[in-house]
Amino acid sequence: MYADKRSREFYILAIFFGLFVLFLYGPLSAILILSFQGPNGGLTFPLNGVSLRWFANLLETQAVGDFGGSFRRSLMLGIMVMLVTVAVSLLAGLAFRRKFLGATVLFYLSVASLVVPSIIISLGIGVVFQQFGIQPAWYSSAFGAHLTWTLPFGVLIMFAVFNRFSPSYEEAARDLGATSWQTFRYVVLPMIAPSLIGVGLFGFTLSYDEFARTLMTAGTYNTLPLEIYGMTTNVTTPVLYALGTVTTVFSFLVIAGTLGLIIAMNRHRSKG
C-alpha cells in the first residue's frame, strides 16, 4: 500500500520500536547478568568476578525461604488454573454463541472480574473464608482468586474466536450426518485448538506470576511470587537475581514450548 521506498516515518518509528524493545528487555538482561555475580559482589554492577554461587545458594538455603516448595505449589496451582480456565472458557464461549437469559449480565460480570482491583478480591475472599471458618489455602482460596483473573481473559478470547467462527462448517458436518458431539469433536475442536492452547498459556502464566490476589488467600504456604515479594524487602544479595533468572527462564521455556506446539499444529493442519 505504500510506495516501495521506505519513508522517513518508517525509520523514525523503527528506531522508536527498537528503543521500546530495549526498554522491555534491557532491565531483564541486567538481572540475568548480575545473577552470575561473583561471591563477593553486590546488587549492582560491576560484576565482581563470575560465579554460580547464587544459584547454588538458591538450592541450599532454607533460611531465606522455601523456594523448592513454593515453586512446586506455584507450578501445581498454575496447571490447575490452566485446565479449569480452558474448560470453563470453552464452555462459556459455546454458551455465548446463542442468546440466553442473563447472557449480558454474565458477560459484564466477566468484564467486572477483570477491572475490580485485585487486592479487593484478595481481601474479599480472605474475609469470606475467615467468616465461614475455612482455612485459606493455595489450592482453594488462592485457586479461586486466580480464576477471577484468568477466566475473563479466557472468556473474552473465546468470545472473539467464536465471533469469527463461521457456522457453515458445523452445518456441513450436520448435513453429512454427524451428531452434535461428532460435529464438536471432529470439526469445531480442531479448528479452535490453537486458541485453546493460547488460553491455556494465559491461564498458566497469569496464575504462575500472580501475587496481588494471592496475598490474602494463600494461607500457610507461600506461592513463588509471594516468596519473591517477601525477598524484595529483606534480601540484599544477588540470590534474588538468581531466583529471578530461574523463574524468567522457566517462563520463557513455557512460552516457547506453547508457541512451538501452536506452530506445529497449524503446520499439520495446513498439510493435512
CB of 238 to another protein, least distance (A): 9
Helix pair 224-234, 189-209: axis angle to 10 deg: 30
Q: Of 100 and 186, which has the nearer Cβ to another protein? A: 100
CB of 79 to another protein, least distance (A): 16
Q: Of 61 and 179, which has the nearer Cβ to another protein? A: 179
Q: Of 53 and 136, which has the nearer Cβ to another protein? A: 136
| Sequential DSSP letters for 57-103 | HHHH-SSS--HHHHHHHHHHHHHHHHHHHHHHHHHHHHHTTS--TTH
The answer to whether 217 and 141 are in contact (CB under 8 A) is yes
CB of 272 to another protein, least distance (A): 21
What distance in Å separates the CA atoms of residue 118 and residue 252, rounded to the nearest whole number?
A: 25
What distance in Å separates the CA atoms of residue 158 and residue 192, rounded to the nearest whole number?
A: 9
Q: Which residues of 94-127 are buried (b: 16+ CB within 10 A; e: fewer)?
A: eebeeeeeeeeeebeebeebeeeebeebbeebbe
The answer to whether 47 and 33 are in contact (CB under 8 A) is yes
CB of 89 to another protein, least distance (A): 8
CB of 116 to another protein, least distance (A): 6
Q: Of 52 and 109, which has the nearer Cβ to another protein? A: 109
Q: Of 53 and 161, which has the nearer Cβ to another protein? A: 161
CB of 46 to another protein, least distance (A): 8
What distance in Å separates the CA atoms of residue 246 and residue 242, rounded to the nearest whole number?
A: 6
Q: Of 53 and 144, which has the nearer Cβ to another protein? A: 144
